[in-house]
Copies of this chain bind each other. A is one copy, B any other.
Amino acid sequence: MSLSTQAYKGARDFYPEDKRLQNYIFSTFRSVAESFGYEEYDAPILENIELYKAKSGEEIVNEQTYTFKDRGDREVVIRPEMTPSVSRLVAGRRQELGYPLRWYSIPVLWRYERPQRGRLREHWQLNVDIFGIENNQAEHELILLADRIMNQFGAQQSMYKFSLNHRGLMDYIFDSYLQLNSEQAHKIAKLIDKMNKISPEDFASALKDCLDQGQLTNQLDKKLLDLLQISQISDLPSEVADSQPAKELQELIDSLTDSGLANVNFNISIMRGFDYYTGIVFEMNDTDPDNPRSIMGGGRYDGLVGLFGVEPIATVGFGWGDVTLKDFLNTHKLLPTVASQTDVYAVLVGDVYNQAQSLIADLRSQGLRIAVDSTDRKIPAKIKTALKKDIKYALFIGPEELEGNQFNLKNLQSQQEEKLSPQSIVSTIQRTA
């Protein structure tokens, strides 16, 4: 029986044209992150399961991880997210590192779930984190950075929007304004996190289930449903709008608006699933309803580094997956055609493989990227291969050409052909690159 050529379910093979596109996306991520002074780090794809049990949330650990025992009986996980790993690294050198610390990484992550639009089992995620800033300049910088990335991809601000909320504001609403107990607050937070995935009727009914009978006669459910309709901080009940978290959030929205971001809004239903968030949370979405999943999301998690037995540190970070991004770029026709990384297809004419070596080595040393075709196929077949690989130039090398040190270079797009010296080959190709 033959082996299957299928990739593992929910994962992708990257043929060269796919990989070129992925490299384009990653290099855009990198260049913008580095322009803001972020340094790249990395960590192993396998981690101890304890790392996620602490604060990632039960659904992820119990239902969505790739967890197994290694041959030494250690319970390990293929990382489903990077935040616990980056916290581990920072904690490991808590005293030596210089703050503010700006780090980024583009790890591959795995979650066991049903593959669907915007969500695969394997995906890559740009992670950007800043450590050591207690005020909301940290959030300001990260959202600005995300906006610059979108700009680099050619997106207009009308195509995407940022939605912000504050875990402290929700705590204030649950504890002080609605006076819920902590179990109710936790359940309702999880419910709000799923609000956009269920019908309004189901949401209202599930909300009732979270409350007790007496609270329903006080119309606490209606009070909360009314709150969830509000889209301006100033429209919140005054005692809520005057709370410290509400003020911080308003200040951040104002400073982002000042920095030219017209697409930043308060959204009381943004919770972000992870249990470790402690302050402002945010996400970025496509304004096109075809892509409902968030493209980028993050928030403040001041407590995570401290779980490793060192002094806690103020931290804000975001994760930005490649799958939803590609859906976004595709929807808005922003996916470029990335050119071949090969400049020249060297078509050997006759048995000149050995004699052609020094010419080819010389052209390569001058920076040309050259694939050699020394097969005994006819020239048209070789040209066909070059075209299939999207290579722009063909260079013909036969015994006479080697003798005279002059070679025909053909531009396969314009069909123009010239007889050139090696030096002119290099300058001609580099001029048009």
Interface residue ranges, A against B (CB under 8 Å) = 2-9, 11-16, 18-20, 22-23, 34-48, 50-51, 54, 66, 68-72, 74, 76, 78, 88-89, 91-93, 97-100, 102-103, 108, 110, 112, 122, 132-133, 137, 141, 148, 255, 258-259, 307-309, 340-342, 345, 353-354, 357, 361, 364, 367-375, 384-386, 388-389
Contacts and interface: CB of A to CB of B under 8 A. Distances in A.
A46 B371 contact: no
A63 to B, nearest CB: 8
A344 to B, nearest CB: 8
A99 B368 CA distance: 21
A110 B112 CA distance: 20
A340 B38 CA distance: 10
A147 B88 CA distance: 39
Contacts of A340: 39
19 contacts: A4-B50, A4-B88, A5-B91, A5-B308, A8-B47, A8-B76, A12-B44, A13-B43, A13-B44, A15-B41, A19-B42, A36-B364, A36-B369, A37-B342, A37-B372, A45-B108, A70-B112, A258-B357, A259-B357
Contact of A48 (B8, B38, B375, B384): B8
Contacts of A112: 70-72
Contact of A22 (B3, B14, B42, B141): B42
Sort A-B residue pairs by CB-CB distance and give the 10 closest, nearest first. A37-B371, A2-B309, A68-B68, A11-B44, A5-B92, A16-B39, A98-B388, A14-B42, A98-B385, A37-B342
B16 A389 contact: no
Contacts of A148: 364
Contacts of A16: 39-41, 103
A350 B64 CA distance: 47
Contacts of A357: 258-259
A332 B16 CA distance: 35
B43 A14 contact: yes
A78 B354 CA distance: 41
Contacts of A19: 39-42
Contacts of A99: 375, 385
B15 A89 contact: yes
Interface centre among A42, A72, A91 (most CB of B within 10 A): A42
Give chain A's interface secondary structure class. Answer: mixed
Given A98-B385, A259-B357, A372 B43 contact: no
A40 B361 CA distance: 21
A400 to B, nearest CB: 21
B13 A50 contact: no
A369 B34 contact: yes
Contacts of A41: 13-16, 18-19
A112 to B, nearest CB: 5
Nearest to A385: B98
Nearest to A342: B37
B308 A2 contact: yes
Interface centre among A5, A141, A255 (most CB of B within 10 A): A5
Contacts of A76: 8
B3 A308 contact: yes
